[in-house]
């Protein structure tokens, strides 16, 4: 990665390659410091659920980083879930779990929610929120599903697919932001960062 003088550093407390790439795409130099958290999902308020999970991940980051108050750059956490027919689809536990999720998504319209939390250590302030988008899947044949499972994109992906990869072929249409589906609503996050001078 080429770094120029106009790039600003940001800490991403997530192992998500997609989130890192999105931040790099808009010009940030990204330092990755993954934070693991127990993800307990609630269908009652899926948006507030992912926002709360992002906040929990930020709290864990603080615990794991005793000197976080001395950091000079923002810290971002995020969480994504898929809501299909009033059921939340998180990350599949294995290949069979992924297959069942893809069968469930086949031919349906579902919602993707991504929550985020941004910490500004210098002013001891954090901002959190969430965004959602709708995704329509093609009707998938058994071969379609098996072919996709062979790509291994389903691993650690909410709903067992990734919009930023081969999974895009499974999608008939999108209503809302592509970036929310990919795991980071960058338009909203960029606006928040700009207000704080980043």
Please state, in angstroms and rounded to a whole number, the distance separating the CA atoms of residues 97 and 103.
Answer: 10
Contacts of 19 (CB under 8 A, 6+ apart): 12, 76, 78, 182, 183, 184
In degrees to the nearest 10, what's the CA dihedral of 54, 60, 61, 63?
150
Task: Say what the alpha-carbon torsion angle 176, 181, 187, 189 is, to the nearest 10 degrees.
Answer: 140
Catalytic residue among 44, 79, 144, 147: 79
Other CB atoms within 10 A of residue 184 CB: 26
Instruction: State yes or no: is 79 an active-site residue.
Output: yes
d(CA 187, CA 10): 16
Measured distance between the N- and C-terminal CA atoms of the chain, rounded to whole angstroms: 20
Burial string for 143-170 (b: 16+ CB within 10 Å, else e) reads: ebbeebbeeebbeebbbbbbbbeebeeb
The 8-class DSSP code of residue 6 comes to: T
Active-site residue list: 79
């Amino acid at each position: 990665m080429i770094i120029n003088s106009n790039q600003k550093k940001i800490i991403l407390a997530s192992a998500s390659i997609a989130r890192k790439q999105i931040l790099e795409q808009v010009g940030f130099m990204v330092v990755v410091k993954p934070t693991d958290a127990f993800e307990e999902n609630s269908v009652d308020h899926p948006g507030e659920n992912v926002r709360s999970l992002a906040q929990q991940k930020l709290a864990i980051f603080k615990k794991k980083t005793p000197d976080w108050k001395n950091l000079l750059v923002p810290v971002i956490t995020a969480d994504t879930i898929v809501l299909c027919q009033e059921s939340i689809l998180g990350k599949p536990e294995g290949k069979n779990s992924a297959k069942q999720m893809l069968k469930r998504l086949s031919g349906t319209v579902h919602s993707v929610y991504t929550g985020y939390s941004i910490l500004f250590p210098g002013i001891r302030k954090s901002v959190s929120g969430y965004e959602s988008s709708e995704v329509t899947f093609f009707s998938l044949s058994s071969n379609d599903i098996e072919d996709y499972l062979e790509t291994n994109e389903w691993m650690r992906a909410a709903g067992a697919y990734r919009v930023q990869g081969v999974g895009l072929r499974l999608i008939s249409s999108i209503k809302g932001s592509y970036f929310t589906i990919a795991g980071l609503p960058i338009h909203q996050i960029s606006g928040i960062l700009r207000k704080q001078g980043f």
